[in-house]
Amino acid sequence: MSNQLDLSTHYSYPNITFGDMPDLHEVTIGTRVLFPDEVNSSQLHQLEIPKALLNMGDRLKATLLNAFEHGDDAEYKKAENVARVLGGMLGSYVGSDEFMLYPPFVFGRGTLAFDDHMIDISGVNDVLDHGIGANGLVSHMGQHLRNPNHRVIASALDDAQAFGLEGMAKILGFPKDSFMAFPDAEETGEIVKERLGEGSIDLLLMSRIHSMDPKIMRKVTALAPSLLKAGGVIIVRGPQEYKRGTSSPDQVEQLTQDPTLTVSDTFSFQYNAPHDQTPQQTFILRRA
């Protein structure tokens, strides 16, 4: 086998082969399969990745999603294994620009830094992270060394991403049972409610989920307050205006329909990036 992408698919999907390629092409295609929101068209143009390789990656993505949605138990398990191995492969590239289209959260000892601001999150153990992605997973990496009780429940874009995140977390050294990922934000919230109970989450991250289906967003925001502990924090980060989904101010408007939630801080900023220069807003909400 000529590379890790071929190794990760060879036994399950022998007809999907990528051949030899530069490392950056490999990680870009792997990222595109599991985390499509974290690779943009300008990167693909700059790297000059052959169209045939991109098509093979698209074929792999379609094969995985079809197995998760329509396959029998054996096909589902095969797709799960491939997604986990792909995630592990990408874990070896952590720090690459492929995972850093947007600046990540930076956890400290009782603090969380982002977008040139820092807030107090003393006493935070259980975190619900909606739309986490590879970039978000990197944010949590290392927090376990500062806080062994740090636990992350994450909602992913789909099954392939959820299993990929778990494979990536394992390679990055997340302790057993400290990271769980599920497809679909609404389902993840319901799982948290069922398994951990209401008032079980210290910190709820809603970063850049503005393109979520508005109907699902309303369900996610309606459930969110009940999942927070007293004094718990929600961070909403996204575009100040977004017509095709739910902007960050609109998310906050929905959240604050619950009288226990109040906005404690608001930050306006703009990413200094060619792929996104739209005005952004971050809101910090706390539960009484």
| Angle in degrees, CA 91, 4, 167, rounded to 5 | 35
Give, to the nearest 10 degrees, the angle between helix 248-255 and helix 214-227.
Answer: 50
Reported as half-sphere exposure (CB side, CA atoms, 13 A), residue 23 has a value of 7
202-239 burial: b if 16+ Cβ within 10 Å, else e: bbbbbbbbbebeeeebbebbebbbbbbbeebbbbbbbb
The answer to whether residues 115 and 194 touch, using CB atoms and an 8 Å cutoff, is no
User: What pLDDT sits at residue 65?
Assistant: 97
For 280, the enclosing helix (H) or strand (E) is strand 279-287
User: What pLDDT sits at residue 149?
Assistant: 93
Task: Measure the CA–CA gap between 193 and 219, rounded to whole angstroms.
Answer: 13
pLDDT surpasses 50 at 13: yes
**Confidence label for 1 from pLDDT (cuts 50, 70 and 90):** very low
- Residue ranges and CATH numbers for the domains of the chain are 4-94 (no CATH), 106-287 (3.40.50.150)
**Confidence label for 219 from pLDDT (cuts 50, 70 and 90):** very high
pLDDT surpasses 80 at 41: no
**Confidence label for 288 from pLDDT (cuts 50, 70 and 90):** very high
pLDDT surpasses 60 at 116: yes
Report the amino acid identity of residue 51: K
pLDDT surpasses 50 at 236: yes
What does the pLDDT average to over 179-202? 96
User: What pLDDT sits at residue 97?
Assistant: 52
* Range with the poorest average pLDDT among 37-46, 143-152, 166-175: 37-46
Best-predicted range by mean pLDDT (42-46, 101-105, 128-132, 245-249): 245-249
Sort 51 into a burial class: Cβ within 10 Å, 0-12 / 13-18 / 19+.
exposed
Helices and strands (H, E) in the chain, number of each type? 11, 10
pLDDT surpasses 90 at 263: yes
Task: Measure the CA–CA gap between 234 and 204, rounded to whole angstroms.
Answer: 5
Reported as half-sphere exposure (CB side, CA atoms, 13 A), residue 199 has a value of 5
Best-predicted range by mean pLDDT (33-47, 164-178, 270-284): 164-178
**DSSP character for 275?**
T
For 143, the enclosing helix (H) or strand (E) is helix 143-146
Q: Give percent of the chain with pLDDT exceeding 70.
A: 94
Task: Measure the CA–CA gap between 217 and 213, rounded to whole angstroms.
Answer: 6
User: What pLDDT sits at residue 40?
Assistant: 76
> What average pLDDT does the chain have?
91
48-99 per-position pLDDT tens digit:
999 999 999 999 999 999 999 999 999 999 999 999 999 999 998 875 554 5
**DSSP character for 49?**
-
Task: Measure the CA–CA gap between 248 and 283, rounded to whole angstroms.
Answer: 8
What does the pLDDT average to over 160-168? 97
User: What pLDDT sits at residue 104?
Assistant: 76
pTM of the model: 0.92
User: What pLDDT sits at residue 201?
Assistant: 98
